Amino acid sequence: VKLIVNSKNIGYTAAANQSIKLTNSDFLILLNSDTVVFEGSIDRIIEYLKNNTEVGVVGPKIIDPSGNAHLSCRRFPSFKEAAMHVLVGIFWPRNPYTRRYKMMDFDHNKEVKIDWVSGACMGLRKRALDEVGLFDER
Domain ranges for the chain = 1-65+118-138, 73-112
SS3 state at 113 = coil
Reported as a single tens digit per residue, the pLDDT across 14-32 is 999 999 999 999 999 999 8
From CA 85, how far away is CA 102, in angstroms rounded?
Answer: 10
From CA 67, how far away is CA 83, in angstroms rounded?
Answer: 31
113 and 45 Cβ atoms separated by less than 8 Å: no
What pLDDT score was predicted for residue 1? 74
pTM attached to this predicted model: 0.81
What pLDDT score was predicted for residue 6? 93
